[in-house]
Structure 1
Amino acid sequence: MKTEKVIDHIVAWLKEYATNAKVNGFVIGVSGGIDSAVTSTLCAKTGFPVLCIEMPIHQAASHVTRAQEHIKQLKERFDNVSDVRADLTPVFEEFKTEVSLEGAQATVDMALANTRARLRMTTLYYYAGLLGRLVAGTGNKVEDFGVGFYTKYGDGGVDLSPIADLMKSEVYLLGKALEVPKSIMNAAPSDGLFGDARSDEDQIGASYDELEWAMRMYDEGKTAEDFTGRQQEAFKIYKRFNSSNRHKMIPIPVCKIPQNLT
């Protein structure tokens, strides 16, 4: 990949989109992960004002530390970057007192994890509306169009997606060229939705390298029967997530009314 040219292309795309939309810049949630670090740096390189927002909800200390390190570095490098911290833990806890938490624990935990993402989306759009800016998404290609590893109307609720055509491995190449802090480059990817340090691989059961490979094989028309051992297992994991999360990756179904009924 021609990394520097890709960076220039994305920055130019962001600038053109913001100019045509007549907005005042970008708002982005910074989690301490590689995707938000790369996306926020790309936004900063446009010269448009960029607001980085930390939104901890019982966050693992390592995530908070990395997010703060990145924001500090970004502000030192770009004078168009500002930040704000919105501690959503009290909001999340109050929400839990107003809803039923009955049901299988795993289901409750997942519902609450998705609630965290949706609270963050609401916060991002509050500041975007306040400042007349766009919410920049941080999803990469394998997450957004492969396994659907994001929350519908949570971190999937954005105005534009600068890195959604890049595989995770390519995001790391951009991260290196953009001088993202090494602590973020070396950290295991994590969505941070469970209040602990569990990684994406812990949740999915396959690494991003395996998922990227499986995505390519699936696009080539391969099936699980074409592989054995760990490759077959990784392919099945990819296919399972791709199928179960398909509803996130296609337009919302609309019930069309036949003309003879109108």
Structure 2
Amino acid sequence: MQEKIDQLIKWLREKVKEANADGLIVGISGGIDSAVVAHLIKRAFPENSLGLIMPCKSNPKDKEDALKVVESCGIDYHIIDLTETHQILFSKIEQQLKAKNEWNEERARLGDANTRARLRMTTLYAVANNYNYLVTGTDNAAEWHTGYFTKYGDGGVDLVPLVHFTKSEVRELAKLLGVPNEIITKAPSAGLWEGQTDESEMGTTYEMIDKYLKGEEIPEKDREIIDRLHKRSEHKRQLAAAPPKF
């Protein structure tokens, strides 16, 4: 795994050079995936890497954990609270749709959560533009395969260094890189709403998805869920659909 860390660092440096960029930026959520990426980009660019902590109707514990990640790797960082920005934007959308009696309350929670993810993406690119940095994503192999990310949100990035690593492999990387143990053992969550966890929302576990991706046997129920998630999210892994040239 140490060899893979060295290869990832080399790859990150190559991609920045190819893009004529000056460094890398990542959104630090307080979870393990962004913690690993923060450590990687700090090693790749000790003087030209940046972490962005972006609370948005978030659990205060997530900000505390994000700061622990910053301290563990020594990366430079900014905190930009998006709560008020999100409130203004989403309430305006709600007002306009309710005025036409077209507001769908059942879909509102997911729309709210996805808007937060897309605001973070917009913020990352605005800051990245300031420094001439590339935006580094945090999706792992399990998230990528099942589509457990927001299209043009946390999926809107320049580089995806963890996309071939299962969740268990990400934990191995975290231990080697020096990510704090409380981050490594923290229940995976996108922090979308109170009590939300990745696994409860997906209906299966990262352990099952990891086994599936390795070609190992898993219960049929879990296989069906993973296949359904993959099929339903195919559009997220593609460029915008275009018609044939007429």
TM-score normalised to the size of structure 1? 0.87
- The equivalent residue for 2:30 is 32
Aligned residue in 2 for 1:108? 108
Give ranges in structure 1 of 5+ residues lacking alignment. 76-80, 221-226
The answer (yes or no) to whether the contact 1:215–1:238 under 8 Å persists in 2 is no
Establish whether residue 136 from structure 1 lines up as the match of residue 148 from structure 2.
Answer: no
Q: What residue number does 1:78 align with?
A: none
Q: Which residue of 2 aligns with 1:254?
A: 242
> Are 1:169 and 2:163 an aligned pair?
no
Q: Given that residues 28 and 51 in structure 1 are in contact (C-alpha distance below 8 angstroms), is that contact kept between their aligned partners in structure 2?
A: yes
Q: Does 1:240 align with 2:228?
A: yes
CA shift for structure 1 position 256: 1.9
Please tell me whether residue 60 in structure 1 is matched to residue 54 in structure 2.
Answer: no
Report the count of equivalent residues. 239
Q: Counterparts in 2 of 1:113-262, with a 5 A limit?
A: 113-144=113-144, 146-194=145-193, 196-217=194-215, 231-258=219-246
Partner of residue 94 from structure 1, selected from 77, 83, 88: 88
Percent same amino acid among aligned pairs? Answer: 34
Question: Runs (4+) of structure 1 moved beyond 6 Å?
Answer: none
Give, as a single letter, the amino acid of the residue that structure 2 aligns with 1:238: I
Partners of 2:127 and 2:166 in 1: CA distance: 29
Q: What do residues 184-243 of structure 1 show as CA deviations (whole Å, max 9, x unaligned)?
A: 00101111122x2421011111110111223344xx9xxxxxx8xx81111111111111
Q: CA RMSD in A?
A: 1.7
* SS of aligned partner of 1:45: helix
Pairwise CA distance, 1:104: 4.3
What is the rounded CA distance, in whole Å, between the counterparts of 1:95 and 1:126 in structure 2? 18
TM-score w.r.t. length of structure 2: 0.92
Larger Rg: 1
Call closer, same or farther: CA 1:182–1:106 in 2, change over 3 Å: farther
Q: Which amino acid aligns with 1:173?
A: E
User: Could you tell me how far 1:103 is from its partner in structure 2?
Assistant: 4.2
Alpha-carbon separation, structure 2, partners of 1:180 and 1:64:
15
2:45 corresponds to which residue? 47
In 2, Cα distance between equivalents of 1:197 and 1:82: 30
